[in-house]
Amino acid sequence: MENNNNNKENLTNDNSNKENLTENLISLLSFLIIFAVGFFLVGPFVKNLYKDFRNLNKDEWISVYNSEDRSIYYNPSKIIHTRNGNVRMWLRFTGKSVKNWAIKEGVENGISAEKYNNWAFDEELDEFDCKNQTYREVYYLSYDADGKVIYEENNATDSFSPVVPDTIEEDIYKLACKNQSFLCRLLPFICKIIKNN
């Protein structure tokens, strides 16, 4: 009789151990599934946030376009997310045709051509309306090799123009809107606060 009770007790313990093992395996499997789903859903978001914050203070000019007489660069740390959801981006222009254009623009506005003897590059602040596929030039500057401003022009009152397909402007527009981070698209004021600190 005692043997039967011991056998029943052993069977009960075995069943209890099997149930605990099954519950533990189900819990582990559930955790792994939740972790995998979370990783695939949240992983890219975290990666993009890391990329955005890493580039906030990275002062590096990256090539957008190069030809024999003109080169265009942008700087990830100089991308500005406005409160209305637009993206402003500083561009740098170098090359012979840019210098000729800068001289022409300067002379038309009363700057002597001699001031451009030491010309180095132009910079332009463009604003992109990603939703409506339009852009405008906000500010324009010509610099000499010593970093002094030769000429500047404020165009903030200019209206937006459509982005023409298959142009350099379209490539820059795509770059600006692509670099509009998820966080800044969602909450533009946060990026403004972070960049100002």
What pLDDT is attached to residue 53? 53
What pLDDT is attached to residue 194? 45
State the DSSP code for 56.
T
CB 136 within 8 A of CB 155: yes
CA distance 72 to 171: 11
Digit-by-digit pLDDT tens for the chain (197 residues) are: 555 555 555 556 666 667 777 777 787 787 778 777 766 666 555 555 555 555 555 678 999 999 999 999 998 888 888 877 789 999 999 999 999 999 999 999 999 999 999 999 999 999 999 889 999 999 999 999 999 999 999 988 779 999 999 999 999 998 888 865 555 555 555 555 544 43
CB 95 within 8 A of CB 67: yes
- The 10 Å Cβ neighbour count of residue 76 is 18
What pLDDT is attached to residue 196? 43
Burial class (CB in 10 A: 0-12, 13-18, 19+), 72: buried
